[in-house]
Amino acid sequence: MRTHRGFVFPLEAWNKIFCYNRAHTEASHSGLVRTLGKRVRGNPPRVRISPPPPRLFVIGRPEYLKFPGSVASRIHTVRCRVQVMSSEIGSPDSVLKEQKGYDTAGTVFSDRQKALALLEIIEDDVVFLGAVFEKIYRKNKSSRNAQSMINGAIFAVTSRNNGNPEWREHCAGSLRELLDECSDPGKMSTWFCDTFNNHGGRTAGFPSYTSNPDAYKKLGKFYDYFSEIHHHSAREILERLQDIYGRENIKTGSDSEETFTRAAKDYIKELLTMFRGRVSDV
């Protein structure tokens, strides 16, 4: 048996569970006598310094430890969680892969498919919007990656049911970034029209701010709303919702996950309405 600070360890268990590492410690050998400080004239007091606790590295199983709440038990718990996460996740990139499950009817589905259904879009819409904004960014010399932003928003929605308490903030951050460099309705119109009006055979007649101010203003309001969500501005969030849907329809307490989902759907629908039928060469 081996005793350490009130805990009793079977010797065999101690050897199997712990690796005692004395490196870089300042312990005296087995707590023998040592003098403190500089050596000076006279006879300074001599004290007994107890050794520090061993530096523990768990290499065995925790069943040998019968006392609850021990350091080793907590170490093992964390280690087990890391092992489970590693076995389920693998490399960091694999987190972005689809995670499949089954509904009550036994139909195979994925988290991404559920997120797309919640936003009422399909994969073709994602690819289309990504290509449209990539062309807008290239024309206006922006280095942004539209496809990554859209997929980032969808991934944030998938994390809704996977324990992410800030999925709305993450989704809003990705959605707002699509228009971040041209969030002003006038500049937004300039970017869109310069890209798609009478340039290299592109579709002519793309609506400008002059011809369709309401559409650009509404996109600007959605941008403001997602910005406030992203920055956790509670009062401003309610005001931006009222700007979009009207004061009579948005009251105190209306800032809910359902309202956010509705706004995200309507925002994407506005973008699709803006470009579908007017842009075909992407």
CB 128 within 8 A of CB 282: yes
- Please, which residues have CB within 8 angstroms of residue 266's CB and are 6 or more apart in sequence? 222, 244
Q: What whole-number distance in Å separates Cα of residue 39 and Cα of residue 29?
A: 20
**DSSP secondary structure letter of residue 22:** -
Tens place of pLDDT per residue across the chain (282 aa)? 666 656 665 666 555 555 444 444 444 444 444 555 555 555 555 555 556 555 444 444 444 344 444 444 444 443 444 343 444 444 434 444 444 444 444 444 689 999 999 999 999 999 999 999 999 999 999 999 999 999 999 999 999 888 899 999 999 999 999 999 999 999 999 999 999 885 544 445 789 999 999 999 999 999 999 999 998 888 899 999 999 999 999 988 888 999 999 999 999 999 999 999 888 777
3-state helix, strand and coil shares in percent for the chain, rounded to the nearest 5: 55, 5, 40
CB burial readout 75-91, b (16+ within 10 A) else e: ebeeeeeeeeeeeeeee
